[in-house]
Homo-oligomer: A and B are copies of this chain.
Amino acid sequence: MSISGEMLIGQTTVRGKNGQIHGINAVTGETLAPAFGGATPDDLENACALAQAAFDTYRETLPEHRAVFLETVARNILALGDALVERCMAETGLTRERLEGERARTVNQLALFASVVREGSFLDVRIDPARPERTPLPRADIRLRNIGIGPVAVFGASNFPLAFSVAGGDTVSALAAGCPVIVKAHSAHPGTSELVGQAIQRSVRECNLAEGVFSLIFDSQHSISQALVADHRIKAVGFTGSQHAGVTLMNIAAARREPIPVYAEMSAINPVVLLPHALAERSALIADTFIASLTVGAGQFCTNPGLILAIEGPPLAAFEQAAITALSAVPAATMLTRGIYEGFCEGVEKLRAQSGVELLGRGRPGECLQGQAALFATRAHAFLAHTALRHEVFGASSLIVRCPDADTLLQVIEALEGQLTIAVHASADDYPLLGTLVPTLEKKAGRILLNGFGTGVEVCHAMVHGGPFPATSDPRTTSVGSLAINRFLRPVSYQDFPETLLPPILQDANPFGISRRVDARTEP
């Protein structure tokens, strides 16, 4: 397969006539061929009409069929071979090792959702059999299953060009749920997007699915993306990106005649709380792992540790010294795009100019478009006074907040907005203090972790990659892990349907052997 610059609308390829975007070599800043044509309103109309037309048959695909489709997507992504990795390296500046790892994560994620589809508990099948003899009124036969919510619009992330993009967690969980997907390709990696889109388009064909199950469009301006979210056929939105863009999509969705859910994963500073005994026992070790987590992938992770909270004293001073030393050896790293690089530089300069904020140290300086890591410190009262200090600086920048005592530490935690993760470093002697913090941590984040850092988000059943606003738009959900499928489902009850008219999954015979609740019991 080759990169043509064309959109994938159902099974057709379409040259967009509404402006152009280009991939940019992240290292050199050079424009990459070919040009990608932006979607017109007609292109959008076609994609939406196809998605709607595909919904009824796609959502009734049998579990095995749908699972095989997801596995076919995985196989076809791998079959893209090195061409995918090389294009992606050029467009993102990320390393081969990282992208090969991310590709593995992407195909593992497809395999996980294939297993979720086969297992079937996401359908939440419930059967309350009729009780004709009940008095004063007989009970009807009532059966419930989840169905796909409808066609889903997906806006991928720049920082995970594979695992959070065209075939990323949003797309895969929506497809697993039975929803057609229209992806708006991220303009930072259009060639990568087209290649992965071709793998999905081909999988749709190989699995004999309705063509509207998947479309990929490019957008040279915001209006097409906004029209996609506003389209009455779209029933949910998955998004990963900035708070500004996420809130814009939330507002469009809320203003529709029929408001729809937007699952936006937006911004977090992922506080790391260093408790006194842990700090006293292993400040240098924590500092080294902190700097590694802060600077991996140029700090371009949603779960990047942007805030350190600890109580003042010699152990914190030792931690700071060790962190400064470790940081000074970290090379500057190419960032994903010029816009992200400039945003990072601006965020660092703002922190540097903020009264009450001290620049502790920096990583090694770099070349054009390479982010130079930065570590700042401030005092708790300054942090509490200036809400600007709570804003995410996307990239390898972190702020240490020195608290005079444990009460102030708690006060700082309570002043935080919603987060994806909060990490705590604690020794056994810290557990009593940690126990008092946990209820607050639970209210602030989707994932709380001990003696680690939030970077490295396992794709598994128990993962929550979510959290209260502004970390995400909806704290009831996760965008990573098998629970992500719940975002794209809605329940429907069938009352007094004859066996032949019931969806197979609800029939007495239970043809797929899926676990279901019959009255209060779970069977089989």
Binding site for B on A (CB under 8 A): 56, 60, 101, 115, 119, 121, 124, 126-128, 136-137, 139-140, 142-144, 147, 149-150, 250-251, 254, 257-259, 261, 417-418, 428, 431, 434-435, 438-439, 442-443, 445-452, 456, 458, 460-464, 466, 468-470, 473-478, 483, 489-498, 500-501, 515, 517, 519-520, 522
Task: Find chain B residues with CB under 8 A from A124 CB.
Answer: 483
Task: Find chain B residues with CB under 8 A from A147 CB.
Answer: 442
Q: List 12 A-B contacts (CB under 8 A).
A: A101-B136, A126-B483, A128-B463, A140-B449, A144-B463, A149-B476, A261-B476, A442-B492, A449-B495, A449-B496, A461-B520, A475-B490
CB distance from A506 to the nearest CB of B (A): 9
Task: Find chain B residues with CB under 8 A from A468 CB.
Answer: 258
Task: Find chain B residues with CB under 8 A from A448 CB.
Answer: 492-495, 497
Task: Find chain B residues with CB under 8 A from A500 CB.
Answer: 431
Closest to A126 in B: B462
CB distance from A472 to the nearest CB of B (A): 10
Task: Find chain B residues with CB under 8 A from A121 CB.
Answer: 522
CB distance from A28 to the nearest CB of B (A): 30
Stoichiometry, copies per complex:
2
Alpha-carbon distance between A491 and B478 when the two chains are bound, in angstroms? 8
Q: Are B56 and A469 in contact (CB under 8 A)?
A: no
Contacts A442-B147, A469-B258, A501-B435 given; indicate if A128 touches B476 (C-beta within 8 A).
no
Q: Are A498 and B431 in contact (CB under 8 A)?
A: yes
Alpha-carbon distance between A35 and B491 when the two chains are bound, in angstroms? 43
Q: Are B144 and A483 in contact (CB under 8 A)?
A: yes
Q: Are A144 and B462 in contact (CB under 8 A)?
A: yes
Task: Find chain B residues with CB under 8 A from A115 CB.
Answer: 520
Alpha-carbon distance between A374 and B142 when the two chains are bound, in angstroms? 31
Q: Are B461 and A495 in contact (CB under 8 A)?
A: no
Closest to A257 in B: B469
Contacts A452-B140, A473-B259, A476-B261 given; indicate if A517 touches B463 (C-beta within 8 A).
no
Q: Are B458 and A140 in contact (CB under 8 A)?
A: yes
Task: Find chain B residues with CB under 8 A from A136 CB.
Answer: 101
Q: Are B431 and A461 in contact (CB under 8 A)?
A: no
Task: Find chain B residues with CB under 8 A from A470 CB.
Answer: 258
Q: Are B142 and A495 in contact (CB under 8 A)?
A: no
Q: Are A492 and B458 in contact (CB under 8 A)?
A: no
